A and B are shown apart, each in its own frame.
Chain A
Amino acid sequence: MKRNPFKAKKYAVSKIYHAKPMDLERSEERPNVPEGIMTKCPSCGRIIYTKLLLKNFKRCDECGYNFKVSAHERIAMIIDEGEFIEFDAQMTTRDPLQFPGYADKLVKTQAQTGLADSIVTGMGKIEGYPVMIGVMDPAFFMGSMGTTVGEKLTRLFERATKEGMPVIVFTASGGARMQEGIFSLMQMAKVSAAVAKHSQAGLLYITVLTDPTTGGVTASFAMLGDILLAEPGALIGFAGPRVIQQTIGQKLPEGFQRAEFLLEHGFLDRIVPRDQMKYVLATLLKMHSQNRTGKATKEV
């Protein structure tokens, strides 16, 4: 058996990487180095060559901190080079509530991120195994789910069901998008129904929970995978920690709602570091590439 075969392969991120500034909001001070060439780890403060950081899957090799990755960076890390076909790339929301200021903010965010909304869906291959994939982008309205995310994911699952294909979804979300109100809430039911039909057809669904996955996304498709993987340290929960703390008026325990906490409490199958993610996903796809219908125990 091949072990970790992708390690030796060329890493393709640089081709797609949009040269956006790193997410440094959380760091106390801005790094004293030329923007772009070097990047400071917000967790341990280490100054890292940006190029090296990209080669390392945007993971600090000192402390293991996972930098935020955009949807397209994630796809480049996971999908075989040149094998990604995007679906519904232009779909955007109709602003169902005509919510004041929302349309303007959308246009601005679209210009900043180059994304139409907070998810990219499509089809590709992982180590040669075909898969449908959805990747949320935390930079777009905090990865929140409105009607566009709901519709794109539902279409993805419907298409996968029709074509008998597995689905992988990378979640990163603050939850339902408030600006689309009850329509956002209903996406939870809509996507979950499409997931259920895909499952009834005997098909594989893997979710990979990344930092942060909360609210209506956790309470719907994020938790419905046949296999639930997560990145180390990812915040995963229904209510956010600040809300809980304010509600109960107590300090929350160390590590509360982190991936390791969820693993311990039985809600995750496995925590997978970024540099092993492609290998683990490829192996799981390989294990499910037979018995496609799930009905027969013998090969037909």
Chain B
Amino acid sequence: MSISAWEKVKLARMPVRPTGLDYIERLFDDFIELHGDRYYSDDKAIVAGLAFFGDMPVTVIAQQKGRNTKENIMRNFSMPHPEGYRKALRLMKQAEKFGRPVICFIDTPGAYCGIGAEERGQGEAIASNLAEMMQLKTPIISIVISEGGSGGALALGVADRVYMLENAIYSILSPEGFASILYKDASKAEQAANDMKLTAQDLLEFGIIDGIIEEPAGGAHNDYNQMAENIRRVLEADLRLLVDTPLDELLDNRYRKFRRI
């Protein structure tokens, strides 16, 4: 517990840290990836599809970092474009239609900032997800597995249960961005990380998240299987509970959970 916030930032960004697909592989059966927003493109920064969690069909949505430079370029370093958020929303609405729960793995430095992203309405895409997720008539569980950066993370983070892995971070902005705006010096990222209160322990204390999922000794990267097992236990308990909650109660609780912050 004595790891500093900055050390956690470094841990969360380690290239060997397990990614969304590593968890999908270990937690689900028969994953069938589905692509595209049906408007413009298929954003590879977000992997989404259908799978079984035990006997239960679920929709899985994950922001996906690459495991090497080539993969990272393909995945745009897990920084989604509007079409990524629109794909996620399309599949959430599909999950709603068929009454299956949605599980989101959040792992992004932030929504991509660029010309195309603005032309196609990055802000509109994120906003729509926030509003629609709040009203989605099926359970949603979101887990920040590594980095939860800005609105780009929140766009998958309006959920009935929001968890963070023990060494994950979740913040308004990257520490570098924060430092350059507030301290006019990007190199003061370490100080920013400590000031921002971005660790799982901080956020649990604030009541922003519902729980922390313990990591294997030294971090999630030391034992992918154990990490996945820890997540599985949380999902199993929560899904059973959420699926049995009447819909109006579920939506009411979801609204109030964010309302009181």
Contacts and interface: CB of A to CB of B under 8 A. Distances in A.
B175 interface: no
Contact of A266 (B30, B35, B57, B247): B35
Contacts of B34: 227, 269-270
Nearest to A264: B42
B50 interface: yes
Contacts of A280: 32
B97 A267 contact: no
User: Is chain A's interface secondary structure helix, strand, loop, or mixed overall?
Assistant: loop
B101 to A, nearest CB: 7
B183 interface: no
A1 B137 CA distance: 29
B39 A296 contact: no
A290 B57 contact: yes
Nearest to B40: A266
Contacts of A290: 57
Contacts of B99: 202, 291, 293-297
Contact of B29 (A1, A269, A284): A1
B100 A266 contact: no
A266 B42 contact: yes
Contacts of A284: 32, 50
B93 to A, nearest CB: 10
B165 to A, nearest CB: 26
A296 B99 CA distance: 6
Contacts of A294: 97-99
Nearest to A3: B30
A265 interface: yes
A294 to B, nearest CB: 5
A297 B250 CA distance: 11
Contacts of B37: 266
Interface in B77-131: 83, 87, 94, 97-101
Nearest to A223: B38
B32 A270 contact: yes
Contact of B243 (A204, A264, A298): A298
Interface of B: 29-30, 32-42, 50, 52, 57, 83, 87, 94, 97-101, 137-139, 242-244, 247, 250
Closest 8 CB pairs of A and B: A266-B36, A291-B99, A269-B34, A287-B57, A1-B29, A266-B37, A266-B41, A297-B99
